[in-house]
Structure 1
């Protein structure tokens, strides 16, 4: 398996869940993006997962992804002073199973 993935954790401000989800629905697939999905992991906690053709594809999409974040930033709680409103991770996909 080859490819690249990113995972981003968000904590939504109380009462802003619907606004957050409505903004998220407006996002479109980026060039080089294979598949993405949003998981609700807690009452107001969500994790977005994206799979990409390559690390370069993700890097090239970053300006657009940051623009998407800016559209929902007001609905997000600060996770920590170091992280801000997102807890992102990314790396090579090393294994896949069905």
Structure 2
């Protein structure tokens, strides 16, 4: 069943370009990764969104994702409220929407 992971980041002032370039250089060779994107969500705020075959694929890729995070960790600003530098979540898709139609995954 399709799984997703989402990680929120806030970049230090003036570091947006370096943050994007760090992701352009990154190689995530992870079995089960279907596609991923970095989404700009506001002033110095970004999210990583990954689509995966299953939760086991996300768990197996965590060491590689942390290694990539380590390459740009100094560019990040604390999110506050005890979150630290990242706010990661992941889970199984319960509904997928394609061309405006929602349906439960098979």
Quote the residue 1:20 is aligned against: 19
* 1:51-90 equivalence runs, <5 A: 51-80=51-80, 82-90=82-90
Structure (1/2) with the larger strand percentage:
2
User: What is the DSSP-based 3-state SS (H/G/I as helix, E as strand, rest coil) of the residue aligned with 1:77?
Assistant: coil
TM-score by length of 1: 0.93
Kindly state the Cα deviation for residue 77 of structure 1 after the two structures are TM-superposed: 0.1
Please give the alpha-carbon distance, in whole angstroms, between the structure 1 residues aligned to 2:97 and 2:36: 17
Please give the alpha-carbon distance, in whole angstroms, between the structure 2 residues aligned to 1:47 and 1:89: 11
TM-score by length of 2: 0.86
The answer to which structure, 1 or 2, has the higher relative contact order (CA under 8 A, 6+ apart) is: 1
Moved more, 45-54 or 28-37: 28-37
Gaps of 5+ in 1: none
Kindly state the Cα deviation for residue 86 of structure 1 after the two structures are TM-superposed: 0.3
Quote the residue 1:5 is aligned against: 4
Kindly state the Cα deviation for residue 39 of structure 1 after the two structures are TM-superposed: 0.8
Moved more, 54-63 or 25-34: 25-34
| Structure index of larger Rg | 2
4+ long deviations beyond 6 Å? none
User: What is the DSSP-based 3-state SS (H/G/I as helix, E as strand, rest coil) of the residue aligned with 1:7?
Assistant: strand
Kindly state the Cα deviation for residue 81 of structure 1 after the two structures are TM-superposed: 6.1
User: What is the DSSP-based 3-state SS (H/G/I as helix, E as strand, rest coil) of the residue aligned with 1:79?
Assistant: coil
What is the number of equivalent residue pairs in this alignment? 97
